């Protein structure tokens, strides 16, 4: 959900998003609003993930997702952070599907690296957040796809984002599957999709029917699939789209294979 497209909707619902985050222990109590029981099943066509199913998934306190790249670095979207530099304001939550669980591991940030090519013709909606201490060794990492070999097929998406376009954030981690959409088909969706950066972005969704998608609050989270060895590999980062789960309007993700080398180099310097 970049500031080009979905981020506009995020700005318009910032108060609701902050209130929902407070319900789940992710925002200042001063901004709290009355809590209500969150939906238990579907979020944009998804179902609830099992505890431990995607252990490298991270929730960030600004209302974005991320994935554990190394013991002390998470990968998220550039549009989730404002700039490169020291930053101790972000809290990363690990190890749970229920954001209210007392078993959650929470670690503060120390530094943010924002892609220098973000919002340019080159694209690059990715960022790294360095943590103040390492994540527990029991939490596995999610490796990046370093070639385009896995930029096809069926992908998995997960997040604590809205259950519907403009809706509230969720308490429980939800999952869904989406199909690869070719660049030509994605561009043919019209509107903002005509400006798709083919070498930097990858599309996925249910073009004929809609109903399955990432949404506000899922930004920065991973899109992933199994590699030839049966291990999870990250192929995308939730970036933008026109609305959520609309028919003929797929989700657009940062193409991780394009930026894997740059991400690896930046991480080595943090």
Q: What residues are annotated to the active site?
A: 79, 125, 219
Separation CA 214–CA 77 (nearest Å): 14
Question: Is the Cβ–Cβ distance between 92 and 140 less than 8 Å?
Answer: no
Q: State the number of CA atoms in the 13 A half-sphere of 60 facing the CB.
A: 31
64 strand-pairing partners: 60
Please report the beta strands in the chain, taking only residues with DSSP state E, as ranges in sequence order.
47-48, 57-60, 64-70, 73-76, 85-86, 91-94, 105-114, 127-131, 154-159, 174-181, 201-205, 222-226, 232-240, 251-255
Pairing verdict, β 91-94 and 57-60 = antiparallel
Token pair belonging to 144 = 């990046």
Q: How many other C-beta atoms lie within 10 A of the C-beta of residue 29?
A: 7
């Amino acid at each position: 959900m970049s500031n080009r497209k979905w981020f506009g909707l995020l700005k318009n619902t910032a108060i609701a998003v902050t209130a929902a985050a407070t319900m789940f222990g992710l925002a200042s109590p001063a901004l709290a609003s009355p809590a209500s029981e969150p939906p238990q099943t579907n979020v944009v066509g998804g179902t609830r993930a099992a505890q431990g199913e995607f252990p490298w998934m991270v929730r960030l306190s600004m209302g974005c997702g991320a994935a554990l790249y190394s013991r002390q670095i998470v990968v998220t979207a550039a549009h989730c952070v404002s700039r490169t530099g020291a930053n101790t304001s972000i809290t990363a939550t690990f190890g749970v599907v229920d954001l209210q669980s007392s078993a959650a591991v929470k670690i503060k940030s120390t530094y943010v690296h924002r892609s220098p090519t973000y919002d340019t013709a080159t694209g690059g909606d990715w960022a790294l957040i360095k943590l103040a201490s390492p994540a527990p060794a029991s939490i596995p990492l999610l490796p990046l796809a370093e070639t385009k070999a896995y930029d096809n097929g069926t992908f998995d998406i997960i997040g604590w984002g809205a259950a519907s376009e403009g809706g509230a954030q969720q308490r429980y981690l939800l999952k869904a599957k989406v199909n690869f959409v070719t660049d030509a088909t994605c561009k043919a969706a019209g509107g903002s999709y005509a400006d798709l950066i083919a070498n930097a972005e990858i599309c996925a969704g249910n073009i004929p029917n809609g109903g399955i998608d990432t949404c506000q609050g899922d930004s920065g989270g991973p899109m992933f699939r199994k590699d030839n060895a049966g291990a999870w590999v990250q192929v995308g980062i939730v970036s933008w789209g026109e609305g959520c789960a609309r028919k003929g309007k797929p989700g657009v993700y940062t193409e991780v294979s394009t930026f894997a080398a740059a991400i690896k180099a930046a991480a080595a310097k943090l």
